[in-house]
A = this chain, B = another copy of it.
Amino acid sequence: MGVVRKTQSVSLVLDAFNAENKAISVIDLVERFSDKINKTTVYRVLDRLEDDGVLHSFLGVNGIKWYAPCKGCSEHKHTDVHPHFQCTDCGKIDCLNVDITIPNLPNREVAGAQVLIQGKCEACCN
C-alpha cells in the first residue's frame, strides 16, 4: 500500500513539503496545484504518502486537514503525543518536538491523543 510509483504529482507534492519546513493544509495544496494536479489526485497522493509513512495528517482549527513530513514521529509510544501548534495570527502550523504525557485514566485504555496548541508563533510574537 502507499506510494508505488514516482509520478509527477507525487514529486510536485513532495517538493512543496521540502521547500517549506511546516505543515500545509490540503486546501492550500489543492489551490496551489489547481492548474497542475486535479483535486482528487491531490487527496489521493497525500493519502498514499501518509500510508507510506512519508507524511502524517491531523486536523487544524475548523476541522481542516493538514499534512506535515514525518521525521520518525510515527513510532512514538502510544501514551506520548506529538502536538501541533497553530498560530492564531498567521494560521501557520508547526509540529512540536515536545512530548505531552497523557495521565493514566482509570478504567480506560488510552490508545493515542491529538493535541493542537493555539497561540502566537515566533514570527507573530513581535
Contact = CB atoms under 8 A, between A and B. Distances in A.
A100 interface: yes
A55 B101 CA distance: 27
Q: How many copies of this chain?
A: 2
Interface residues of A, number: 31
A119 B109 contact: yes
Contacts of A110: 117-119
Contacts of A113: 83, 115-118
Contacts of A98: 103, 105
A117 B115 CA distance: 8
A85 interface: yes
Nearest to A114: B116
B111 A119 contact: yes
A16 interface: no
B116 A120 contact: no
Interface in A68-111: 83, 85, 88, 96, 98, 100, 102-103, 105, 107-111
Interface of A: 59, 62-65, 83, 85, 88, 96, 98, 100, 102-103, 105, 107-122, 125
